[in-house]
Amino acid sequence: MVIVESYPLAVVMCIVTMLCWGSWANTQKLASKKWRFQLFYWDYAIGVFLLSLLLAFTLGSMGTGGRGFMVDLQQADAKWLGSAFIGGVTFNLSNILLVAAIDIAGLAVAFPIGVGLALCLGVITTFLATGQGNVSMLAVGVTGILIAIILDALAYKKLASAGKKTSVKGIVISVAAGILMGWFYSFVAKSMGPVDPATKALEAGKLSPYTAIVLFSAGLLASNFVWNSIMMVKPLSGDPVPFGDYFSKGNIRLHAIGILGGIIWNVGMSFSIIASAAADPALAYGLGQGATMVGALWGVFIWKEFKGAPEGTNKLLAAMFFFYLLGLGILIASKL
């Protein structure tokens, strides 16, 4: 398998993760003009799984380090296969809630609150699972992100005073998504074995990053038949979504947009996982979750979700971006 050993390269990969995780939801915004987000999400889940297989049979089966994908899969302990799979199940529930929050409140609210909270919890839980990282600097970085989350919620609240339609439900769902999302990465991180610097060998019984991504993606796709089916029958907003709409209302363009969204997201996930050995899992997750800032930028400047907001809102948004950048900068520096 291909192994990343350079810290600068790992940081670049984490930045790509940040851009992918912060941008994939634009595909949802495009597709939601034509059909409900629950239908979009089926294609998204398929896209995530397809990319995991592509990486496993290419980068995951090339090179002289570690183990090839099929060999790694055959030697893996059921415990660690299950851990990565559960990570996918957990993430999928949280992500469906995030997608619902985007549908209700927009990118500029759902991302900073939901994904920002996930960032804070994810850094903490991943550090506890692996013991890697500078405790003090990680704590300061997380604090900066928490301040940014509060500022974004205050900015969203101001929209109501301007007569713009807002919903407390959007914030509540974003918080629920963030709490769940903060736990998934630690399941995946624990399932992977460290690479011996001298021999480039992987710990027996544990998974390579590429195998972990496949099991994670399988958990996401399999659980979609549960979580997304519930969301279609009992949606958090609007009427129930008939399952037949996926075939009767879909077309090649809509399906392609959804699959593209899943591919974009999983490029970010895969880069984060592959780079985690050269950075550290807590840093890789934390830096990747800078997607909150990217998503908010899309929502504010491209989708104009705060257009017409009252005086003072722009100052809150500027402060939010400042504290996100500050927190992310500290997370990056924690490894230097």
Number of structural domains (the chain) is 1
- Structure tokens given for 97: 């809630």
Residue 72 and residue 201 in contact, taking contact as beta carbons nearer than 8 Å = no
Kindly list the distances between the CA atom of residue 176 and the CA atoms of 3, 68, 99, 115, in Å, as whole numbers in the listed order: 35, 38, 12, 10
Q: What is the pLDDT of residue 297?
A: 83
Residue type, 43: D
Q: What is the pLDDT of residue 70?
A: 95
Q: Is residue 1 part of a domain?
A: no
| Kind plus residue range of the DSSP H or E element containing 287 | helix 281-288
Q: What is the pLDDT of residue 20?
A: 92
Short-list 279, 323, 32, 278, CA closest to 155: 323
Q: Is residue 2 part of a domain?
A: no
Q: Is 64 left (phi over 0), alpha (psi -120 to 50) or beta?
A: alpha
Q: Is residue 232 part of a domain?
A: yes
Q: Is residue 266 part of a domain?
A: yes
Q: What is the pLDDT of residue 167?
A: 65
Q: What is the pLDDT of residue 89?
A: 97
Domain that holds residue 277: 7-333
Q: What is the pLDDT of residue 201?
A: 84
Tens place of pLDDT per residue across the chain (336 aa): 998 888 889 888 988 998 998 899 899 988 987 889 999 999 999 999 999 999 999 999 998 888 999 999 999 999 999 999 999 999 999 999 998 988 888 877 887 888 778 878 877 876 776 677 788 988 898 899 889 888 887 887 777 655 555 568 888 899 999 888 888 888 998 999 888 877 888 899 999 999 999 999 999 999 999 999 999 999 988 899 999 999 999 999 999 999 999 999 999 999 988 887 787 666 666 666 677 778 888 888 888 877 777 888 889 989 988 998 898 788 777 766
Q: Evaluate the CA torsion angle 147, 152, 155, 157 in order and state its sign.
A: negative
Residue 14 and residue 288 in contact, taking contact as beta carbons nearer than 8 Å = yes
